[in-house]
Structure 1
């Protein structure tokens, strides 16, 4: 099965071409490349490197959130446009699930965290199923940094880009995922998407939308009466 995976949730990102869940080619994206317009030439380059015609792609996978507003909009918009134009199926996956899946041979419960700014993190708790794939135990939530540290129990593992600011406060009895696995990768997204698609999961291209999990700073100021 030919899969294009778009991961644009953070300050950087990546696009991958996957064949039956195996990586064929992946390229990194800079912050400047994470707009719907700039993703198009990178996607074209990926297709060329994989030696695929656009219509040969059967599934487009995308991280739907949490993450940056701009990055998520660009990724989801690009996935929808490509799927509509080619007739490919589309499948969205939670960004924290992708991060959790990057911990190899994970055992026990683990937390995946991303920086949500304002001294907060996006966080979800997972445990590996029989096949080793992480299953979400607690849904994505926004926690104050201190509250997140307080939730970490002895023997649990924590991973993700949110550790860039939390690491110094993580108790010694809590395991920390390797730093090279903190950033979500398109290849991991594609691998998860292949397994989920085979189990019957997919999204409606017309209904697909980013999941921000919070209002933008401007929206919050408006709600507070600070903007008119």
Structure 2
């Protein structure tokens, strides 16, 4: 029967699903760009499996992107992946979204900065060299950090379009979103989660949702003298 992996990405504006059989993508689907991931994900996944003649119990595992990205989208995708893994007993591999993006960079992008909009003038940033992360994901002030990048830096990620005026003439990768293929490829070097780790899995977001951040700010301002 071989191996069958369901790939779930809801970090991006347009979510995507894919079914990988023995390392080859045999089916893919895009979710509603309006981000109705909660409504679309389950039936889209069921249709992919049905078209390939694969039962949920026949899955080897699930690969899920864990962010950074859409806070609500990530929660929906991760909860679906956890539920499927728990129900079927298949493996669950959590892939940082930036790792999958870095996987698509051209060979000449040896010094790569992957960025995304963190709102309020801030950017998510992670640096890669030779395809490997050389620092943890962090949030930076875009106007201070991005223009100071060395001349040999390439940029990738959804933040390239947002922060383009700050990037001067530095090179940018053409493919700046994760794909089913790049998520699966990135997952090959990551160990499946243990059952305890699966239950504890949360989006890689570094801070709360917009609503949580607003509540914190309101509480802080309310407590100010």
When the two structures are superposed, what TM-score results if normalisation uses the length of structure 2? 0.88
Residue among 66, 76, 80 paired with 2:82: 80
1:184 is aligned to 2:178:
yes
What pairs with 1:90-109 in structure 2 (closer than 5 Å)? 90-109=92-111
Return 5+ residue gaps in structure 1 as ranges.
Answer: 129-133
1:203 is aligned to 2:205:
no
Deviation per CA, 1:144-165, whole angstroms, max 9, x where unpaired? 2212323421111111110111
Query: Contact 1:110 / 1:159 at 8 angstroms: preserved in 2?
Result: yes
Query: Contact 1:8 / 1:34 at 8 angstroms: preserved in 2?
Result: no
Q: CA deviation at 1:78?
A: 0.5
Residue among 69, 72, 89 paired with 2:71: 69
Q: CA deviation at 1:206?
A: 1.9
Look up the SS of the partner of 2:163 in the other structure.
helix
1:166 aligned partner: 163
When the two structures are superposed, what TM-score results if normalisation uses the length of structure 1? 0.87
Moved more, 100-109 or 68-77: 100-109
Look up the SS of the partner of 1:65 in the other structure.
coil
Q: CA deviation at 1:227?
A: 7.6
1:217 aligned partner: 210
Q: CA deviation at 1:37?
A: 4.1
Q: CA deviation at 1:169?
A: 2.7
Larger Rg: 2
Give 1 or 2: higher strand fraction. 1
Residue among 13, 16, 20 paired with 2:15: 13
Look up the SS of the partner of 1:190 in the other structure.
helix
The verdict on how the C-alpha distance between 1:148 and 1:186 changes in structure 2, with shifts beyond 3 A counting, is farther
The verdict on how the C-alpha distance between 1:33 and 1:106 changes in structure 2, with shifts beyond 3 A counting, is same
Moved more, 201-210 or 26-35: 26-35
Look up the SS of the partner of 1:31 in the other structure.
coil
Moved more, 141-150 or 152-161: 141-150
1:50 aligned partner: 52
Q: How many residues align?
A: 216
Return 5+ residue gaps in structure 2 as ranges.
Answer: none
* Separation (CA, whole Å) in 2 of partners of 1:118 and 1:32: 23
Q: CA deviation at 1:14?
A: 0.5
